Amino acid sequence: MERICIHIDGGNFYHLALKKLGLSEKEFDFDKFAQFLAGEKRTISEMGKRYYVGTVREKEGDERSKKAMALQTSLFAKLKSSKWEIKTSKLRTRMEEITIDPRVQDYKKLLGLGIKSIKIERLREKGIDVKLATDLIVGAIDNKYDTAIVVSSDGDLIPAIDWVRNRFKKKIEYVGFSIADPKYPDSPTRPLLSMIPKTDIQRTLTADDLKPFIVQQQQLIPNKITKSE
């Protein structure tokens, strides 16, 4: 059977798909999703389910970061129990300045208060694309797969994709998304056009395609064990 290796850029997947659907990672069945991507006529290689993400760090006194770290720890435990390989990198903090203009909600009110700009703290992943690209290349060299499925719309992966296709004749399957954003109708998720001519197979998934992998609420609540007196 055709051997595949699945590479999911966790941060990219969250922002392009899960966030648009109002979901967190814990509400998505990654294992079931992997089986869907593989299909019935292909087999997932040993260590062929790979998840890449920046690690969350708890900040003292910051409840939001504490909660995020707990959720990520729970996600990692769940993925590892299903034999996913998890590749991580540190999240870097960067300050960004936003100008108050018509793009900002209630901008007139803010300008009326004399607020012309605000500074916000953003977290950025560093090195995830490098780790994913390296795994594509090493997997091709070691003949770990026939087809690599790339769930990422990161154009920085294209040089590695070109290399494994042209040098080792491996196939690359690109999974992109077409999902509307209810909060920002003018900013829907679309497949990365530059990935399409650089890959052998292209799949565009919609919100309906992802619904079967949403974990039902009752599955998120652990069973309560009661003891009789």
CATH code where residue 37 lies: 3.40.50.1010
The CA-CA-CA angle for residues 204, 208, 213, to 5°, reads: 95
Report if residue 77 sits inside a domain. yes
Domain enclosing residue 31, as ranges: 2-91+127-220
| pLDDT, tens only, 104-161 | 778 888 888 888 787 665 555 568 999 999 999 999 999 999 999 999 999 999 999 9
Mean pLDDT by 10 residues, the chain (229 residues): 97 94 94 97 97 81 78 93 92 68 80 78 70 97 98 96 97 97 85 97 97 75 41
Report if residue 118 sits inside a domain. no
Residues 6+ apart with CB under 8 A from 173: 4, 147, 148, 149, 150, 199, 200, 201, 202, 203
Report if residue 111 sits inside a domain. no
Report if residue 176 sits inside a domain. yes
| DSSP labels, 139-200 | HHHTT--SEEEEE---GGGHHHHHHHHHHH--EEEEEEEEB--SS-TT--B---GGGGGGSS
**Residue 103 confidence (pLDDT):** 75
The CA-CA-CA angle for residues 132, 127, 140, to 5°, reads: 20
Report if residue 112 sits inside a domain. no
The maximal CA–CA distance of the chain, rounded, in angstroms, is 69
Report if residue 42 sits inside a domain. yes
d(CA 195, CA 174): 7
Q: Are 110 and 100 in contact (CB under 8 A)?
A: yes
Report if residue 43 sits inside a domain. yes
d(CA 20, CA 16): 7
Number of domains in the chain: 1
31: burial class by Cβ within 10 Å (0-12, 13-18, 19+)? Answer: middle
The single-letter code of the amino acid at 84 is: W
d(CA 173, CA 200): 6
